Homo-oligomer: A and B are copies of this chain.
Amino acid sequence: MATSLDIVFAALADPTRREILHMLLEDDMAVTDVAEPFAMSLAAISKHLAILAAAGLISQEKRGRVKWCKLEPDALSAASVWMQSFGQFEPINLDAFEAFLTQELGTADAPASILEQ
């Protein structure tokens, strides 16, 4: 039996899906627009979105012929709580954050917005 934690962590394990979540942090998007920056087929992105939706990380609403995708960050709650039960690390560790940015995005600039809030 796959619990919600299985599904959420598995959804987060793919870099394409994490990038999609980051894009949706900006604004709701149609499936075609989500797919645009990626070098893969629309069908592949559609599958990724289905996986994110199954994990509850996004919701999808069809208006007309376009399906709008919306971030649902609350779905991270259970996973976040699970991780915090190990609690021996700082909630915001700037070193780790910078290391993450360097690895994941290839830069340590832009998202000052995240730190400011």
Contacts and interface: CB of A to CB of B under 8 A. Distances in A.
A83 B80 contact: yes
A18 B79 CA distance: 11
Contact of A4 (B74, B82, B103, B117): B103
Contact of A84 (B9, B88, B92): B92
A71 interface: yes
Nearest to A96: B77
A99 B114 CA distance: 28
Contacts of A3: 15, 103-104
Given A5-B18, A13-B10, A86-B25, A80 B91 contact: yes
Nearest to A8: B13
